[in-house]
A and B are shown apart, each in its own frame.
Chain A
Amino acid sequence: MFDTPDLPEELLIALARQRGFALDAERAAMLRPLAESLFSRLAYIGERLPRDAAPPPAGVLEDRAP
């Protein structure tokens, strides 16, 4: 359905090192399909967001009447 990003395990290991946690090859292999799935779906969403869509206001859910 979506273009799957190419996230080789070496890249995941390098990204993990940047963020300060250890990821060995075995764990990177387990993580790879999850990461490819989530990030491909996020890319799909990102490409289709209306340009004027903004995040909701910070804080507690506003409770105005619908």
Chain B
Amino acid sequence: MTEDAFCFLSGAELGRRIARREASPVEAARACLSRVDRLNAKLGAFLTVTADRALAEAATAEREIAAGRSRGPLHGVPMALKDIFDTAGVRTTAGSKILAENVPVRDAAVVERLRAAGLVLLGKTNMHEFAFGTTNDNPHYGPARNPWDLERSPGGSSGGSAAALAAGLCTVSLGTDTGGSIRIPAGACGVTGLKPTLGRASRRGVAPLAWSFDTVGPMARAVEDLALLMNVIAGPDAEDEWCAVRPAEDFARDLERGAGGLTLGVPHEWFFEGVEPGVEAAVREAIALLEREGARRVDVALPGMAGAYTAHHAILAAEASAFHGPWLCERADDYGGDVRRGLELGQLVAAADYVNARRVQAIVRATFRAALVVADVLVTPCLPQAPLRVGEPMSREPEAAWNRLLTPVNLAGYPAISMPCGFDGAGMPVGLQIIGRPFEEALVLRAARACERAREWHTRRPPV
């Protein structure tokens, strides 16, 4: 197998080969690091590469496996982490100038769990500054670029992770999703990303953006990898009061059960309005494909989504500006222009408007709850359009914003995946969003796997 082919194995498959000692963690890490050396200048995917440490960790994994001490199915698999997760002894910038010299002394809770599961850290990935944006056009470290078209954004805020996955610079990754920041880049780059239910995974050691929405989730090229990563990161954390007390479960248990018996809810209003024809065609084909695989389709109503977008925007801006208030007063010039404007806007949100936005949140949750009485999952496009050009600003108007199909899900707090479901006329990936009931990530993953199995869009590689 060529080095490059090695880099495009799924984490699950690489883990199986490592466990059978047909592949070496050190070879896997070296292969990814070699691609990072070759491609990162083009892609801007990594902010920090921990090559020496990665090779040492890989060698340790190799020795442990040789001695029969397996840490699980991802033992020895190379990962990259969005630079928002605290990593002990490794610079953690959150994509900002303000934290440019920040070196945590302790790993984030989810990083501790990944290390305990034997994954090998290759480095930290580029992101939109403080996760407060969706383009990954980072003014301090340069933009991350989309491997499918280097003139286009990979999306954000977890854009470096998605670009790294699509280009085979790492095998799996973690992102965060407050307003689409896992699903946007997954959709834009043709990889998969899961925003779990709010509270599914600990946020201890993760720089906050908006407490009401911040969610840690897995990113990968294959659905099975998301399930295996969820098995590692999900579950209670006594040090994070926002973390649900419900115990972790086996998220891979139903992956191969197929689409038979599932009811897909398709909300036409809002979610298919103003969507580019190439995107709509790919998504409708994916829905038809799931029907051919045995799912039943029902139309569902999800009214009030423009208000949901606005309520989410107000809550996010207000909470972000509360966290950033001291820095905004003392170091305003150290923020990029768009983030600073967003924080300034958040400072001006009136208390009554914030509370009204929370009242909208309760209504939107009830709306999603009702739709998911008649359907097992909801199926929509992820992004309404092809990825933005690098440097092109994102609209914040509800009818034009490219995350407008995603933020209502953050407002509800429900789990949702983005997975590749085809390509548009320009050859850019199209993402399918599958939304589930709270804490039913396993069902979302099952539906996604059924789609992935039927049409292997995820195996296409970008031209970098």
Contacts and interface: CB of A to CB of B under 8 A. Distances in A.
B348 A55 contact: no
A24 to B, nearest CB: 10
B418 interface: no
Contacts of B17: none
A55 B352 CA distance: 12
A63 to B, nearest CB: 5
Contact of A49 (B199, B325, B332, B359): B359
B437 A66 contact: yes
B197 interface: yes
A55 B310 contact: no
A56 B365 CA distance: 9
Interface string A27-41: 100110011011101
Contacts of B359: 49, 53-55
Given A37-B396, A63-B244, A66-B369, A54 B348 contact: no
Contact of B360 (A12, A15, A35, A45): A45
A21 B348 contact: no
B372 A60 contact: no
Interface of B: 197-199, 241-244, 246, 306-307, 310-311, 313-314, 317, 325, 328-329, 332, 337, 341, 344-345, 347-349, 352-353, 355-363, 365, 369-370, 372-373, 396-398, 413, 437-439
21 contacts: A12-B348, A15-B348, A16-B344, A20-B329, A21-B325, A35-B345, A37-B396, A38-B310, A42-B310, A45-B311, A46-B356, A54-B362, A55-B358, A56-B365, A60-B198, A60-B242, A61-B198, A61-B244, A62-B438, A63-B438, A66-B372
A25 interface: no
A31 B341 contact: yes
Nearest to B311: A45
A60 B197 CA distance: 10
B363 A31 contact: no
Nearest to B362: A56
A42 B198 contact: no
Given A38-B345, A66-B373, A53 B363 contact: yes
A5 to B, nearest CB: 11
A60 B355 contact: no
B199 A21 contact: no
Mostly helix, strand, loop or mixed at chain B's interface? helix
Given A20-B325, A21-B347, A54-B362, A61 B373 contact: no
B353 A46 contact: yes
Interface of A: 12, 15-16, 19-23, 27, 30-31, 34-35, 37-39, 41-42, 45-46, 49-50, 53-56, 59-63, 65-66
Given A16-B344, A31-B344, A66-B372, A45 B307 contact: yes
A17 B353 CA distance: 20
A23 B344 contact: yes
Contact of A56 (B241, B349, B361): B361
B437 A41 contact: no
Given A21-B329, A42-B310, A60-B198, 5 more contacts: A37-B397, A42-B356, A49-B359, A49-B360, A66-B373
Contact of A63 (B242, B246, B314): B246
Given A21-B347, A34-B396, A60 B362 contact: no
Given A34-B345, A46-B356, A55-B359, A61 B310 contact: no
A27 B356 CA distance: 27
A55 B438 contact: no
B318 to A, nearest CB: 11
A66 B341 CA distance: 39
Contacts of B332: 21-22
Contacts of A39: 348, 353
B358 A56 contact: yes
Nearest to B412: A61
A53 B438 CA distance: 21
Contact of A31 (B345, B362, B365, B370): B345
